[in-house]
Structures are given as C-alpha cells and as structure tokens.
Structure 1
Amino acid sequence: MSTETDKERILANILDCIARSCITMPYAERYKNSDKYGAYLGWFESDDSIKIGDLVMCATIRDTKYKFGYITKIISQTHMEIREIGSNSICSISNERFYPIRGMRKLDLLEGKEYTLFCKVMKAIHKADEYMYRFNDINFESNDVAVVSFRKKWTDLTEFHPLIVKINYDNKTSIKQILEQMYQQGYGTKEF
C-alpha cells in the first residue's frame, strides 16, 4: 500500500478529475454533463445547493488544511463547519464562499478504514483470480459491514445482475478472511 495520506490521495484525485474534465469538454458543457465527464467545481450553483456531507472548496482562504473539506454543519450560506479531508478535525469558517465539488467517483474519496478495506478487497479479488468476475462497487452499510457487488466480465454496466457479497470487517480483517466470506456467499460459483 502507498505511503501517501488519505488527504494527499484524495486531493490528487480531485485535481486529476477536474483537469480531465477541463481538457475533454468545452467550458459551457461542464455543468450539464458532469456524470459523463467527471468532477467539476460548482461554479454555477448557488450556495444553498450545498448539503451536509458535501465536499467543498473554500474560495478565498489560503494556506489552510481546510481549503478543501466536507461540510459537517451549515450555519449560513457564508458560515459553515468543515471537516478536514482524512481526519476528524473540524473548523468553523465564516465570511466565505463555498464551491461544491460534484461528479467525483465515491471510490476516489474513500478514507481511513473504508479505503483500507477497499484495497484489501481488490487484493482478495486478484488473489482469487476468478476470470469471469469483475469488481463493480462497494458500499458501507455501517462501521463494520461493507456490501461489495461483482459483475460478469463483458457485461453492460446498465443491464446486469450483480453478485452481492456482505463483508464483516474491522481493522484486523485479513485478505484471507475477506476471501472466505466472498466464497461463502457465492463468489466463483454463482451462475450469472
């Protein structure tokens, strides 16, 4: 696993997605086709479109670890509490304009033990080497249960019947334990 922090990885992903969207489409089309072209800053959105949990960029503050972060509390359109990416540190920022960052893949924004589990699941899939199974998605039901979906290779992503596997996990869950749970729930044997 890489030595970069969650914050470094997520900020690099934000930059990568925004840069790709700037290169691949005309400026006027960015807002309308965000799902197709990746991340964008919500330049055209009003501040009242921001919700708790949104990833935002602060427009005017400089040189602070809260320049990008997640909204934890909305006090007013210009005063919000922000959680630093990759930590539980929270700061109240006022007299500011906040731009929501939209269109990011949730996999690019995973932090902490969720990101660690995602990496372990990917290693387990590689270790299992099941040719017809492909990773589709991961969702976290709670702090100790993740739902991983798999699809058949060469399946159109809009019309497929996934294999759903629930994985119980904690900080000590091994790749071997993840594989055992996957196999018990039909990974490698389910007919699509």
Structure 2
Amino acid sequence: MKSAHFTDVSLRVDGTDHTVHVDNRITLLDLLREHLGVTVPKKGCDHGQCGSCTVLLDGRRATTCLTFAVANDGAEVQTAAGLGDQDQLHPVAQAFLEHDGFQCGYCTPGQICSAVGMLDEVKAGSPSHVSDDLKDTAELTDAEIRERMSGNLCRCAAYPNIVDAIQKAAR
C-alpha cells in the first residue's frame, strides 16, 4: 500500500541494484541493515560520532546513521565488502590485515571505507585542519592521517596500527 510517509528508494549497493519501499524517516544505515541485509556497516553510536557505519556514498565517505535513505535515492553505496573481491583484497584492506589495523573488528569496515575516502580526498588536494599549507597536501603525515580519520573511533585503540596501515596503502 502506498502512503505519503513511504517512498521507493533505489540504490546500487556493492554493485547490486535494489529498490525498497521504506518509511521516509529511515536512515541509510537502517535501510542497508534491516531491509537489504547488508550488515557490513555497523551501528555503533547511532549519532554520527563513532564512524562504524561509514560507507562510500557516490565515492565519498559518509556516516549512514546520519543520512536519510530517501535523500540518497539513486546513489551508489560501497561498503568495505564491496571494495575488493574474494580473490583480491582492496589495498587498504590488505594493509589493515598486514599491519594488524584491527582487534575486535567491529569498527574495521567503517575504518577501511573512511581510509579509502580519505586517501581519495588527499589525492584531490583537500586540506585538513592540521595541514600546514592549505595549497600543499602532498605529504601525508601521521598527524594528517589521525586528523582525517578522527571521525572513526576504535574502542580497542588500534590507532598506531591503523595509521601504519593507511601509510602503507598510501604508498
């Protein structure tokens, strides 16, 4: 039954097209998890503070708990699971594996998506709060990585290994 409070939302998630009839108030995170069974993005704080729900939304990192699904009709969503394939991990995921960039793993999908998005931002020349020169973002220091990844929390405190993994992937 159609209702003024429900809308059809079409998304491409990890290469697969979906159309779902959802309540206009549902977040992208809840649509992914509850309606599509895509449980890779995690529900941590549900307030946009922890980054566990981070995905790449039309190529840019986004916290899905803070965005309405209807606002992203027609969007391309890429989760950490959609970044590589069974034969070849994405370079960031491979670096996380090689550098122990995770412990319990709960935040890892969001960390990986955020790292991929962050590295794309660096390539595009986007400065961060700690950038010394807003016109020169060529050097990706540990401080730059920590600042750019500050929206992703790790309760296990694997931060040194996460920074090392991102440095490796950046090379």
TM range (shorter): under 0.3
TM-score with structure 2 setting the length:
0.26
TM-score with structure 1 setting the length:
0.24
From the CA coordinates, give the structure whose radius of gyration is larger: 1
Higher relative strand content: 1
Higher relative helix content: 2
